[in-house]
Amino acid sequence: MNIVEKIISSHLLEGELAAGSQIAIRIDQTLLQDALGTMACLQFEAMKMERVRTELSILYVDHNTLQTGFENADDHLFLRTFCRKYGLRYSRPGNGICHQVHLERFGVPGKTLLGSDSHTPTSGGLGMLAIGAGGLDVAVAMGTAAYHLTMPSVVRVELKGKLRGSCAAKDIILKLLGVLSVKGGVGKVMEYAGEGLDDLSVYERATIANMGAELGATSSVFPSDAQTKRFLEAQGRGESFAELHADADATYERTITIDLDELEPLVAAPHSPDNVVPVSALRSVKVDQVCIGSCTNSSYSDMMRVASVLKGRTVPADVSLVISPGSKQVLNLLAKNGALSDMISAGARILESACGPCIGMGQSPASGAVSLRTFNRNFEKRSGTADARVYLCSPETAVASALLGQISPLESVGETPRVPMPERFLVDDNLIELPPEHSAKSSMKGSAEGSPEGSMEGLEVIRGKNIKPFPMFDAMAESISGVVLIKTGDNVTTDHIMPGGADVLPFRSNIPHLAKYCLIRCDPDFPKNAEKYGGGFIMGGANYGQGSSREHAALAPVWMGVRAVIAKSFSRIHKANLINSGIIPLEFADPADYDRVEKLDELAFANIRSALLQVKTVDGYDRTKGFAFLLKCDISERERGILVAGGMVRYVQSGKF
């Protein structure tokens, strides 16, 4: 068996290990972050779940840390009191970015993790099967310790040779993105193997696993080996180590080989992570801003390499360099060993350990500026500046470019060796609050302490003004009709559908407010049209809904009366979010029909409810143009039940999972 099959078979609750079949697996750990967590917590309550039933469930406050009004602080209080009542750990603002902290403090080889953030697979860097999902799926997993998914196929990525010179782990995943594109991983788990792994630390592996999300992959997994053991021991968690390798006769859908000896430093140019070009081709591009951090590249090793390059130098006045270390642990180590002082002296602007500029929470670049970032997404407008040009690269390329004022490889500022991991990290979990029953009986050392039991009655969840109730939607009607409210091209991201940023993110439990921003990045008239026509349909191209796991990209449309999204194809998480929200995901049986149907055409789907329950195809009719067309609805039996019930909350309320 390969590693993925080993982990799935030891967690299998339903189904078989055949790629494409429907399975349910046991979930050991769940992760929520604040931006999606508020809604997930409201859904958990709406589904009348009583307690978390996993080995470990945790909520991190890392996205909404900018407090320009009462909203985010209200959310923090709600989340903290929710965690106390229902049995979750609570990672306070200041403790760091969810994926970085989870890797450091909770990831366990061979275990399963479901997180309400698309970069949850970061913990695959230490041999976990870590999957990103919508908040509703995570809420259900918190209450039942189960998750339903399609058994992915497994692609083996063989790393040959050794990372050299200016190259970094980021260049490995950028290389893969260049080869496979942002659609290339849909329905797959990337499993890494080969001699190149021997020299890759858990942090470097985590950078690669993190950006598997940009491939659209369900997850990315590394073996658990000597590097993993060293990392866990340095974190004071040696007892969590378990060796995990693929069997010699393991089979894969295919193998992709990357020769590390041949690799060169790479950059993803605007506006997509798969728009990959060599640094050498971009050397004349002047940079205005450089941002180092995010859940992809904010580890201790990343920061130390950056600090060692900055030491004794000054960033030129026409470049703004901002650095956000990924966790309290990392920031504290930099403070203790003097590296932070090297950064500050060079002119770097130090931000708190949080998502920050990656999600448009501050540091928006100047108009038309070039911003070079070590992040994982460079979708248009995500930085908060509509005409900024955002490039993605490694910390090595970022720091050299900051010093030289133009895109440059590390070698242009001299020889700088990779920084070894410390023997022992600074371990102190004082910013992780335990639910009351744990604080009484546990020491926080291990990560699997058994399900919390006992009633927490009397503990009050505090709901400030910013916390709005979860909106309920109707069950599916027998027949539906309406107009095509928008027609988009390929690869529309959830950032297009439901933008992030400082002005929108604080309202993540306020769907009516969020609806005003829905799809305006594609068509400013979308909210107006949805209101005018009383809802209708969204028409998308290929890979519709790629990117973030935010289910608000489904909840806002359903609130606006959208009953179906018709696309050439969907991203995995967004498709699940549509179903969980009661929106029908339909695909053109003949992609040529995409060209025939136009914006504002009136479409009718007679007896769609019955059709969905019996067959996998749906008949559509374009009343404006007078032609019939066929659509596919490729979903599982369970998903059909969820859809016709009017979404997951109603489905669970009716006694099903």
Nearest distance in Å: CB 393, ligand MIC? 17
Q: In the complex, which residues of this chain contact ligand MIC (CB under 6 A)?
A: 35-36, 63, 117-119, 359, 500, 548-550
Task: State in angstroms the smallest separation of the CB of 130 from ligand SF4.
Answer: 13
Give the tokens for residue 210. 């993190």
Closest distance between ligand SF4 and the C-beta of residue 138, in Å? 14
Taking the complex as a whole, the smallest distance from the CB of residue 21 to ligand MIC amounts, in Å, to: 26
98 vs 644, which CB is nearer to ligand SF4?
Answer: 98
DSSP-derived letter for residue 77 is H
* Least CB distance to ligand SF4 at residue 383 (A): 11
Structure tokens at 115: 């997180």
d(CA 404, CA 315): 8
Q: What share of the chain is helix, strand, coil (3-state, %, to 5)?
A: 35, 20, 45
Min dist CB 33 to ligand SF4, Å, is 7
CB of 472 to ligand MIC, least distance (A): 22
- Could you tell which of ligand MIC, ligand SF4, none binds residue 549, using a CB distance below 5 to 8 A set by kind? ligand MIC
Q: Taking CB within 5 to 8 Å according to partner kind, which of ligand SF4, ligand MIC, none is near residue 97?
A: ligand SF4
Residues in the chain: 657
Nearer to ligand SF4, 355 or 515 (CB): 355
Partner interacting with residue 327 (select from ligand MIC, ligand SF4, none; CB below 5-8 Å by kind): none
When the beta carbons of 244 and 303 are compared against ligand SF4, the nearer one is 303
Which residue's CB is nearer to ligand MIC, number 122 or number 201?
A: 122
C-beta of 61 vs 586, nearer to ligand SF4: 61
- Binding ligand SF4 by CB under 6 A: which of 28, 34, 71, 117? 117
CB of 500 to ligand MIC, least distance (A): 5
| Least distance in angstroms from the C-beta of 548 to ligand MIC | 3
Is-contact 258 158, C-beta < 8 A?
yes
Both tokens of residue 491? 């690869």
36 binds, among ligand MIC, ligand SF4, none (CB under 5 to 8 A by kind): ligand MIC
Evaluate the omega torsion of the peptide bond into residue 271 and state whether it is cis, within 30 degrees of 0: yes
The H or E element containing residue 173 is helix 169-180
Cβ closer to ligand MIC: 133 or 322? 133
3 binds ligand SF4 (CB under 6 A): no
Residue with Cβ nearer ligand MIC (63 or 84): 63
Q: CA–CA distance from 563 to each of 15, 284, 473, 509 (Å)?
A: 30, 48, 11, 21
Q: Which of residues 344-383 bind ligand SF4 (CB under 6 A)?
A: 355, 358-359, 376
Q: Which of 294, 327, 401, 581 binds ligand SF4 (CB under 6 A)?
A: 294
Nearer residue to ligand SF4 within complex by CB, 116 or 543 = 116
By beta-carbon proximity to ligand SF4, the closer residue of 383 and 509 is: 383
Cα–Cα distance for residue pair 554/572, rounded to 1 Å: 13
Q: Is there a contact between 394 and 291 (Cβ–Cβ < 8 Å)?
A: no
From ligand SF4, ligand MIC, none, interface partner of 144 (C-beta below 5 to 8 A by class):
none
Are 365 and 289 contacting, i.e. CB atoms less than 8 angstroms apart? yes
Minimum distance of ligand SF4 from residue 363's CB (angstroms): 12
CA distance 224 to 202: 9
Shortest CB 60 distance to ligand MIC, Å:
11
* 428 three-state secondary structure: coil
In whole angstroms, the minimum distance from the beta carbon of 123 to ligand SF4 comes to: 13
Burial profile 76-96: b = 16 or more Cβ within 10 angstroms, e = fewer: bbbbbbbbbbbbbbbbbbebb
Count Cβ atoms within 10 A of the Cβ of residue 235 and give its class: 0-12 exposed, 13-18 middle, 19 or more buried.
Answer: buried
Those residues with Cβ within 8 angstroms of residue 600's Cβ, 6 or more apart along the chain or in another chain: 483, 484, 485, 624
Task: State the virtual CA torsion across 175, 178, 184, 185 in degrees, nearest 10.
Answer: 30
**Residue 65 touching ligand SF4 (CB under 6 A):** no
Site for ligand SF4, residues 81 to 100, rule: CB under 6 A? 97
Exposed/middle/buried for 55, CB within 10 Å: 0-12, 13-18, 19+? buried
Site size toward ligand SF4, by CB under 6 A: 10
CA-based max dimension of the chain: 72
Task: Choose the one of ligand MIC, ligand SF4, none that binds residue 149, judging by a C-beta under 5 to 8 angstroms depending on kind.
Answer: none
Tokens found for residue 194: 């080969």
With CB under 6 A as the contact rule, the residue among 53, 105, 119, 229 that binds ligand SF4 is 119
Task: Examine residue 32 and tell whether it contacts ligand SF4 (CB under 6 A).
Answer: no
CA distance 260 to 248: 23
Residue number with CB closer to ligand MIC (413 or 498): 498
Residue 294 interface partner, choices ligand SF4, ligand MIC, none, CB cut-off 5-8 Å depending on type: ligand SF4
Q: Does residue 295 interact with ligand SF4 by CB under 6 A?
A: yes
* The entry of ligand SF4, ligand MIC, none that residue 550 binds, CB within 5 to 8 Å by partner kind: ligand MIC
| 3-state SS string for 372-423 | EECCCCCCCCCCCCCCCEEEECCHHHHHHHHHHCECCCHHHHCCCCCCCCCC
Contact residues for ligand SF4, defined by CB under 6 A: 63, 97, 117, 119, 294-295, 355, 358-359, 376
